[in-house]
Structure 1
């Protein structure tokens, strides 16, 4: 999920904040492996920096997101949350060189306890996630963000490893629900009327899981009556990541938000662990062992 909550003038460069941070990980910290690809958390500041470089290639070079002049010069996508999040990586171990040279995909993970100590969730600048979290005081939430993969690695295998890592991490920390922004390209919601209306009518989060865009940012998703929606065409119009979340059992919040800095239209994805369909639990394993069997 791509999430951008700060405009280009308010991005805080905290990459150096990680330099003095003690980050140790054993050699057996790999969460999954398929052939030459493996997934694990970043082990040091250099790997986080390399992940930020991958994010720049995808979000700025490819998607034309706007970042500050210093970040443009350094070719990095950086913000203040990077210093407190865990950074999930996919690495191609067949690439010769240091691990930093092998990073081909990344996800950013923020647990509720960490967010509360550090000032809140990233997506709270777009959506009223505080009300959702407070309604479930007995549950542990995790925010997903900054999902990206280099173009040549956008395959089923890479996506499976990212989900293997997310699932293993969620189990490790007893996470009950995940959420984060899913993005449509462009800043004109009407260009996605079919897909947004389909999400609104079919998988909108309700009752205890209901969550809305912040009132001052709220853009309606209800642009077409349900009888006018062709489900097959609507599914084809969904970004692959949002479609993947939907297949897992995710819901979407009410209202979209236009992110001018990242040039996207965002919706909030909400995925209670209890909603994950049995076929996916069986596929990845209730203990996240699906792709961990070959890890030594």
Structure 2
């Protein structure tokens, strides 16, 4: 007899800590929901926070973007199972056309410095996130996520809301700790406030391309974190992978939750929803799920932690 059938374990209780107990009022304007928004947009190279030797800021120039691309290559291709084409192998950079017009959030370590070609010491980049605002996406090729999910239907249904895509998240292995992740999220929160963002979205990855091997993780997300109807987005039809791979009563929720990648669990803690259907990304060797985070739905505990004005780690 399963633990759930004995009544000793409830998946609802298990995910309670990942589910916002209190949400801001979704009917209020953005600034009223989360406190006074900072009025000045984030600038290139601007420092957004600091903890000790670690600083979170925007990339200053294309040289720094290239360094972020090298970090992504080291994590995605060297450490994980992404498959590089000839150009990627030659450059040892994870790059695509979106990089040219995205904003790049960086965590740099001032205690880890290398000399550049001019002999100047420069802090090394140890973490990065790629950010794309809707108005910028509209001027170019749209959102990267649109290749996997029908996000345009959600955007069209919310014409008064400002969307922002998060992607290409990675952190150098020795820096995968609370401090680095908190700085990245502090930077994202500052960016959200500065640009009056209403909805964050993007794909998060589970390692592996066999959905049956990660059936528990997919089923857990389907049963416990699927977006409500008004926020639900479906994977594009020719790439759709069913996430409801086992009944809720047969699912070992505790085990499935433990197996989820830290990034996905972090999104759930913030109050994220999961889209309908997964997508196999053979190039990166992953199974992707869609993350949808309306600012109005964010867990107020985390909003208060970072500060309604993003002041917690401001320098």
Give the structure-2-normalised TM-score: 0.83
CA distance in 2, matches of 1:99, 1:199: 45
CA distance in 1, matches of 2:177, 2:121: 21
The structure with the larger Rg is 2
> Which of residues 225, 228, 231 in structure 2 aligns to 1:203?
225
- How far the C-alpha of 1:101 sits from its partner, in A, is 4.8
**Alignment-derived partner of residue 163 in structure 1:** 185
The alpha-carbon distance between structure 1 residues 71 and 201, as it changes in their structure 2 partners (threshold 3 A), is same
CA distance in 2, matches of 1:140, 1:37: 30
- How far the C-alpha of 1:25 sits from its partner, in A, is 4.0
Q: 1:115 and 2:132 equivalent?
A: no
> Which of residues 33, 50, 61 in structure 2 aligns to 1:33?
50
Between 1:138-147 and 1:227-236, the stretch displaced more is: 227-236
- How far the C-alpha of 1:100 sits from its partner, in A, is 5.6
**CA-atom RMSD, angstroms?**
1.3
Misfit runs of 4+, over 6 Å:
none
Q: Deviations over 1:217-253 (max 9, x none)?
A: 0000001101112322121011100000001000000
Q: 1:131 and 2:153 equivalent?
A: yes
> Which of residues 254, 258, 262 in structure 1 aligns to 2:284?
262
Residues 223-262 of structure 1: pairs in structure 2 closer than 5 A: 223-262=245-284
Specify the SS of the correspondent of 2:290: strand
Give the structure-1-normalised TM-score: 0.88
Q: 1:43 and 2:65 equivalent?
A: no
Residues 206-217 of structure 1: pairs in structure 2 closer than 5 A: 206-217=228-239
The alpha-carbon distance between structure 1 residues 181 and 100, as it changes in their structure 2 partners (threshold 3 A), is farther
> Which of residues 39, 49, 57 in structure 1 aligns to 2:74?
57
Any stretches of 5+ residues in structure 2 without a counterpart?
Answer: 1-42, 115-119
CA distance in 1, matches of 2:312, 2:99: 29
CA distance in 1, matches of 2:265, 2:69: 25
